Amino acid sequence: MIIVTGGAKGIGEGIAKVLAGEGATVVVVGRNQEDNERVQSAIEAAGGNAFCVEAELSHPEACEKAIKSVIEKFSRIDGLVNNAGVNDGVGLESGNYERFMESIHKNLVHYYLLAHFALPYLKISKGAIVNISSKTAETGQGNTSAYAAANGGRNALTREWAVELLKYGIRVNAVIVAESWTPQYATWIKTLTDPDGKLKEITAKIPLENRMTTPVEIANAVAFLLSEKSSHTTGQLIHVDGGYVHLDRALANA
């Protein structure tokens, strides 16, 4: 049984569906129950097993309640995928203390709390944790201080937990996302003066095939990191990004 936060849309939905297709029972945790149920129904219609829990994870008490709901239903947890979050544009110049801390709660605090509350059950199952993170922690983006800080925290916690949980046989890894086409991304690009032109500009800089990474491609990496096929992989930050972060920019136009 695998928990996927933010599993009702975008990358999280892709992860939930791929994991269910691999035979896992998936629990979709998200703020909008209608969206949660839509994904649950889609998984079940495809022959998979799913359950959903409504939770606003920026509220600490909701994180504990979500884990309790899962345990009441299944009595076990085999894996946790921390994915929920939003690039909310809280910059240094444009932000303030209140907005910065609100963003940290939206994007980082629940990663810690869900892992904390799930840990007693992961110790029993010797399960795995996968944290979804963003290139912004490594490359910067501009005008998104809080989101970049949150993702830096996600990366640091991935390696910290990998060390702390060695004694329990719990593996912890992260998948780092660069440019992936999601509903959230589509909404953002439409706010620009030349959406089509900007999209072409972005994809031209992605070295492998000059295209965005699909949610399914990210989900496939998550499935690998949760599975026994990655049985000796822990503390790793896996970039599934078509070479966007690390390859020479000159390659994009080669």
Per-residue pLDDT tens over the stretch 94-138: 999 999 999 999 999 999 999 999 999 999 999 999 999 999 999
Q: In what order do the strands lie in the sheet with 79-82?
A: 49-54, 25-30, 2-5, 79-82, 128-134, 171-177, 237-239
C-beta separation of 40 from 50 below 8 A: yes
Give the residue from 46, 37, 3, 4 showing the smallest Cα distance to 215: 4
- Report, in angstroms and rounded to the nearest whole number, the Rg of the chain calculated over CA atoms: 18
**Mean pLDDT (whole number) for 11-22:** 98
pTM of the model: 0.96
Confidence of residue 227 (pLDDT cuts 50, 70, 90): very high
CA distance linking residue 112 with residue 110, whole number of Å: 5
pLDDT at 185: 87
N- to C-terminal Cα separation, the chain: 44
Q: Does the structure show a pLDDT above 70 at 254?
A: no
The catalytically annotated residue of 111, 121, 147, 244 is 147
Q: What is the pLDDT of residue 36?
A: 98
What's the pLDDT at 249? Answer: 78
pLDDT at 252: 65
pLDDT tens digits for range 49-92: 999 999 999 999 999 999 999 999 999 999 999 999 999 999 99
What mean pLDDT do residues 244-250 have?
91
97 is catalytic: no
Mean pLDDT of 18-46: 98
Query: Tell me, what's the pLDDT at 188?
Result: 81
